[in-house]
Structure 1
Amino acid sequence: MERQTAEIRAKELQALLSGYNYDYHVLDSPSISDQEYDRLLKELIDIEEAYPDVRTPDSPTQRVGGTILEGFQKVEHRTPMLSLGNAFNEEDLRDFDRKIQETVGADRSYVCELKIDGLAVSLRYENGFFVQGATRGDGTIGEDITENLKTIRSIPLKMKEPYTMEVRGEAYMPKKSFQALNEQKDENGEEPFANPRNAAAGSLRQLDPKIAASRNLDVFVYSIADVGETGVTSHSEGLSLLDSIDFKTNKERRVCENIDQVIEYVEGWNEKRPQLPYEIDGIVIKVDSLAQQAELGFTAKSPRWAIAYKFPAEEVITTLRDIELSVGRTGAITPTAILEPVKVAGTTVSRASLHNEDLIREKDIRIGDHVVVKKAGDIIPEVVNVLEDRRTGEEQPFYMPTQCPECESDLVRIEGEVALRCINPKCPAQIREGFIHFVSRNAMNIDGLGEKVISQLFSANLIIDVADLYLLTKEQLIALERIGEKSADNLLKAIHVTKDNSLERLLFGLGIRHVGAKAAKTLAQHFESMERLQSATREQLTEINEIGEKMADSVVTYFESEEARELIGKLKEVGVQMEYKGTKRAEAGAVESPFSGKTIVLTGKLEQLTRNEAKEKIEGLGGKVTGSVSKKTDLLIAGADAGSKLTKAQDLGIEIWQEEKLVKELFE
């Protein structure tokens, strides 16, 4: 591509991706599939790598996390980020209103907003471009976390109007992201985050922006620090302006004409807050008029025109009936409290994770104790403490076993970890969890093979290791409960299709400790075959930029085990792909196929493959999948209900295949 063409296309892609990003992360209304977004982003990355001068500061490519930082520079806030005074009950709110009226009179209104429990941040823009982001710090001096904030997709890198301004907001971790992150930490034997606020703060203070990018953070912007050239005269007007120039504000806000309406709003959200996908810990109430705010002024610590109502922490008392143990995929033994069912934050809780033995000892938790329970971050049930004064003497101390509760192998505690582990690779619980991981979306992605079916197969002794999945027969499947002939056919087809997956999916599916989906792809790209990776030394592995010593040791240890060598040999025998099929091989001319060097468009509904699977396999065989039909298109794959793209391809005389032919060329 010539430079002039590249510049035009880069601008087009930057505008398109910024628009799609706004639709998804601000409006919560996706206008494009994830696969298509990723394809366009990859195209833009390629152009900017070839022509670095076309890359702009607001390019969507700048959100993926840059180079590792050496530390955080101090930032002086141009307008101090003051804390708010607190209210804890109705009397406090009425007292706040009384003081407001004593200064500005009865003609006042308030804006009520949800108090997001996250990390306060300041975002500075010059001529519409995001130039610096900082933490609150002590209110006067914060830390420059610009690169980490760029990874939050709801923060515009360029606003619609060329304002020079500083806006304030709250960066937070959604409940779903928090739960997933802590589950991963538990699995790795790491200390979980106490709540989403700590998780968000910890993520934004990582020196490697890629870590922040992986944590799925979000932000709500709640004010303009200095309205200056904007011309707004009220806080609510300022929020509307922020909406219009691409910022994400919280739409649950309300303008209240009197304190009774404020109290009604507070009480309503105290009941409804468990339904929110993010954590709030109160309500912020602000005088709406900026002129009245100026008249009211500040104390040394906080504005007189705003207050934060803090929700009472919901804690309940129940009885701890028992402690159960579960064995995870990596052998980590996790204790779980079995509770007398009790309602907490809107839901009934009967189980709570105790994380590890150290926590049980630290809190002196015993079976039969009366315990205080809350939901960490209003999500995960947690035992806060024990009510020792209610003990009768019948409570039983709990001791972690020395043997695995599933296979009775000796448990070990690896140096530097808090979790006890079963290291028997043939442990039934680990194998079950390993199967679930192996078939999961980011691994082999076997559609229709869920946890229930795996449990049935395992209980019927039809599978011992993951290679056995590829030896299943229709007769074996239809003998299982609730699996008919059609379901069996579909499942066998879904399993068969995954034999041709690229190496990185298999590597991730094997569940090698510390090797996530991204590291699996890095290893597959570098070594290109299972054989070369199996023979890699620790030194060769650590030479790869993204592979550290811990991961290298884990990879070498895995491939040194006899069980792993036997499993990989068995997978080879049943025909599972052992080579990387990505861009590197295709560009090197290692793949010759009917798709090599061709530009291909997929349209309509595919029945036997997902759109993403088809794209991945075609590109693995040297083809290029695009989203639109043009004179440069070589081949169109038409699924069911194909529409305008099929018509255009017919008009241009482009070769057209049905899905059946695609599947035949891919797998036969």
Structure 2
Amino acid sequence: MSDKPVDQLSESEARAELDRLTAALRHHDALYYRHDAPEISDAAYDALKRRALEIEDRFPDLTTAESPSQAVGAAVAAQFAPVRHGVPMLSLDNAFAPEEVTDFVARIRRFLKLAGDEPVAFVAEPKIDGLSASLRYENGVLVTGATRGDGRTGEDVTANLRTLDDIPDRLAGSGWPSVVEVRGEVYAPNDAFDAFNAAAEAAGARTYANPRNFAAGSLRQKDPAITATRPLRFFAYAWGETSQPIAGTQWEALQILRAWGFPVNDRSERVEEAAGLMAIYDRLQTDRARLGYDIDGVVYKVDRLDWQSRLGFVARTPRWAVAHKFPAQQAQTVLEGIDIQVGRTGSHTPVARLRPVTVGGVVVRNATLHNADEIARLDVRLGDTVTLQRAGDVIPQILGVVDPDRPDRGEPYDFPHICACPLKTPLVKETTAAGVESVVRRCTGELACPFQRIEHLKHFASRRAFDIEGLGEKQLIAFHERGWIREPADIFRLARDEARLAELRAEEGYGETSVRNLVAGIDARRTIALDRFIYGLGVRDIGEQTSLVLARAFETWPAFEAACVAAASGVPSEAWTRLAEAHAISPRVLHALAAARPPTTDPWPEAPLDQKIALAFPGLAAPARRSLAGLAADWGGLVELARIAREEGPSDALGQIAGVAGVGPVAARALALFFREPHNRAMVDALVAELDRIEDAERPKTDTAVAGKTVVFTGALERFTRDEAKARAESLGAKVSGSVSKKTDYLVAGPGAGSKLADAQKHGVKVLTEDEWLALIGG
């Protein structure tokens, strides 16, 4: 990760770094959620995400559906039925420093346009380090209990949740809505957790690293009788879908939840302004060790629910709440070795092997070293005593060497230059189209590399992709080593290979039932949703959200496949990509370059190059002219740039994919490159041949008055803020644009509307007042 401040990054530098950060965060999400093997601390993860969000804030056009600001949550485990949440369970933004809390309060005041003397009240609650759960009650009776999952869909753990004494089967009191989703955190008290671990260790049974893992593992037991023996508790603090409002403020809602029979945290408080928030933060941090349960910060929520509604959401996080995290915990130990892990895309990630040490009550044996550059920066060597930092329940990071000047230090670590696979393929550092070298070293063997092949197969069968029950990592590795599974289609062929199935039935650990379940799990996925199919292909830069966006945009597999195949023959040259990613070179500038066709002979030999550019391409802004002057150097270079813009750009088919809102050129190019490779096409064709059906994507909702319409807001809006208006329109299926064209359906004009109003009249666009807009959308 670059140390250059975000406000000093050029757009091309920002794009390259955001790509790196997005890939890193996706990698760590997969380790944490899918493999239960995280390799960086919460603090390190938060630092990566904060920098990514800063880049997105400064360069909003770089944001796609796969960007860090759009991602949330985990996946649904195969052994539990999926439960669709009535209202999504979203994540919170984090704050770490006092000034970030002050900024949070100031943003709320600005958004709501509050007078300076009007106080903002908050409810501050301890941030319990447990597992989120949602409880659906109908007519006062518990009908479903689910984990958060990926925010939209959770795991059905109703039977397990019913075993908790803190969760009522029937709501107490009266006045509850006919439908209400009560949300909170399942956790384990520290003393009960310690007692369980001591008894388990004495009996030679499994122990847990910390109370959070214990709570998650206990709630996900297949047998509720096991969950019933675990000392789990529950705090209620929120709600999801309700058939009618339950309160006017967050504080009042907590008292109502208590009256319905739920435990509510006694350390929650109603306070005002940033000073009140910081006071309770300091008190809870001081008392943290004496609470009897783990917390990793404090959550602040705007008290008034009507203000929460107005504030709404940014991407997948609410504007009206933030989690103020506690500092990470540190310790020292000895670095005993460095192991290299090979990822699905060939990335070689170093992991430190440590002399076991307890950090915050957890025994730590490994830590992340990120990449070769980080090892060189830290100058860590075998035998060094190092300082660790840990936050939460993940593998920590190494901060530095305690005594780098000791005379008996070992030799500097020599990062591998060839892959650990039998092919011994050279490792390379990739360079982006903008000329920025990646810090990640990758094996160039791709699917020929057995490490990458098995990682691709793990990804394909993972929960968020094909989610094949009974085919876990252990089975995949075993089948791959036998030569039975080398590509995704082989998984489905195995389910019909009677000779190999008979061999399995005869082996210890399988038997008739296991084989029957394996075949059933595979056959169940011969029908697959289009977005899961796309994600399962494992195309680089195509994550779960981008897969969903693509599926909805193209709707059917034949349409999507045809677009990708067409795009494969229209990948832009590296020269065009460098030009497109240069500072201030927008699509409009590229179009002007391509259309101009400047003569090969300089018509203005005595003029400065900047003036020549202004004459050759009238209408270009000064930043674009300066950028072109830096790229071209002379008239001949300018002619060559125009030729590149005209002849080496993306095809219309590639542009169609890149033009899908939330996809962009990076993901579109990745798809085109993937489908351009014959072995990838063969792999996809073989897979499709084994499936029964790839289900069409769910069509966008069309049941609102403005669904599918393009809306522009202008003027000094008085009934709502601009952000509030945009959020409301998008929630109803409308597209909000910043400019008026003949494709615009409505212009909502407040006082002082200027050029956009004139453009609307020129194009015949319907103009609405704020009141007319509210009447159209139903208030």
For the superposition of Structure 1 and Structure 2, which TM-score range results when normalised by the shorter chain?
A: 0.3 to 0.5
> Given the two structures, how large is their TM-score scaled by the length of structure 2?
0.41
> Given the two structures, how large is their TM-score scaled by the length of structure 1?
0.47
